[in-house]
């Protein structure tokens, strides 16, 4: 069964049913509002720190290692195409 659109009579009926159910479960309109505020506030805080975000020193070492292994000849010595050292 497809969902009812918000601005249709069916959608308004569905919204009223949903509000009544939530009010019955939580007790009051204020409790419903607080419930969704709590849920919304968790969204941004729940992200887990992973990878290099946990250890910046490890990120620095990995970046240096990648720079040393570069296959672009002049990059290692700062002699790349766009280097200002070559413009003199």
Q: Domain residues for 67?
A: 49-88
- 39 lies in the same domain as 59: no
56 pLDDT tier (thresholds 50, 70, 90) = confident
- 34 lies in the same domain as 73: no
- 53 lies in the same domain as 36: no
- 41 lies in the same domain as 76: no
pLDDT in tens, 27-45: 888 988 898 888 888 776 6
- 38 lies in the same domain as 69: no
Euclidean distance between CA atoms 38 and 42, whole angstroms: 7
Report which DSSP code applies to 71: -
Span between the terminal Cα atoms of the chain, in Å = 72
- 54 lies in the same domain as 29: no
Structural domains counted in the chain: 2
- 42 lies in the same domain as 6: yes
What pLDDT score does 72 carry? 63
Which residue in the block uniquely carries the two structure tokens 């918000």? 6
pLDDT in tens, 57-84: 998 898 888 877 766 666 655 665 555 5
Euclidean distance between CA atoms 37 and 34, whole angstroms: 5
């Amino acid at each position: 069964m497809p969902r009812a659109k918000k601005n249709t009579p069916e959608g308004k009926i569905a919204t009223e049913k949903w509000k009544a159910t939530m009010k019955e479960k939580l007790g009051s309109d204020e409790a419903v509002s607080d419930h969704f505020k709590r849920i919304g506030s968790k969204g941004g805080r729940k992200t887990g720190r992973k990878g290099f975000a946990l250890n910046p020193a490890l990120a620095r070492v990995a970046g240096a290692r990648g720079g040393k292994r570069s296959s672009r000849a002049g990059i290692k010595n700062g002699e790349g195409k766009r280097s200002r050292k070559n413009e003199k």
